[in-house]
Amino acid sequence: MYLSLGKIKDRALKESLKSNFRQIVCSKCRGTGAGWEADVAMIGRRSVHGFLATGTLRDVLGINERSNVSLLAAKKLGLSGVKVSARIGDLSSEVQNRLLVAAVVGEPLHEVSIISGISDARSKRIAAGILSKNGMHFLSDTKK
Ligand SMILES: [Zn+2]
């Protein structure tokens, strides 16, 4: 809807559409975007659909903790409770910044610097350590 707002010339109509905008979770897929097949495919005792709707990164780690360096980095950065179904834009910028660090260690680029907005001091230290182990550098763009 927001993509088409720019094309509307009538300012009053545009404001009315904006102020009446409500985002509702699709009841059919519970906001996951998954199709019917996600109800029959299982991960352990849970359907893929249930997993996507209510699972967290902690649950993903529970499946196979050694399988993914990004998930391990996310755990170290205190992101285990982030829901699998979370939209990146709905997360706080602190969580987004930590997720970025976790994501890049999955495909490390040697001698690349990551400029990060992580503000939590402990997470900064952890991020710097994780990136350093993977041949990258952590640069903070926050003052603390
Ligand atoms: Zn849906």
Structure tokens at 103: 């994501």
Dump pLDDT digits (tens) for 95-142.
999 999 999 998 888 889 999 999 999 999 999 999 999 999 999 988
Cβ neighbours of residue 104 closer than 8 Å, sequence gap 6 or more: 112, 114, 131, 136
Residues with CB under 5 A from ligand 1 (ion): 26, 28-29
Distance, CA 32 to ligand 1 centroid (Å)? 7
Residue whose C-alpha is closest to residue 101's, from 137, 121, 131: 131
CA dihedral 125, 84, 109, 142 (to 10 degrees): -40
The dihedral region occupied by 107, where left means phi > 0, alpha psi between -120 and 50, and beta the remainder, is beta
Residues 12-59: pLDDT tens digits? 988 888 888 888 888 888 888 899 999 999 988 889 999 899 999 998
CA of 35 to the centre of ligand 1 (A): 8
Residue 25 CA to ligand 1 center (angstroms) comes to 8
CA distance 61 to 49: 17
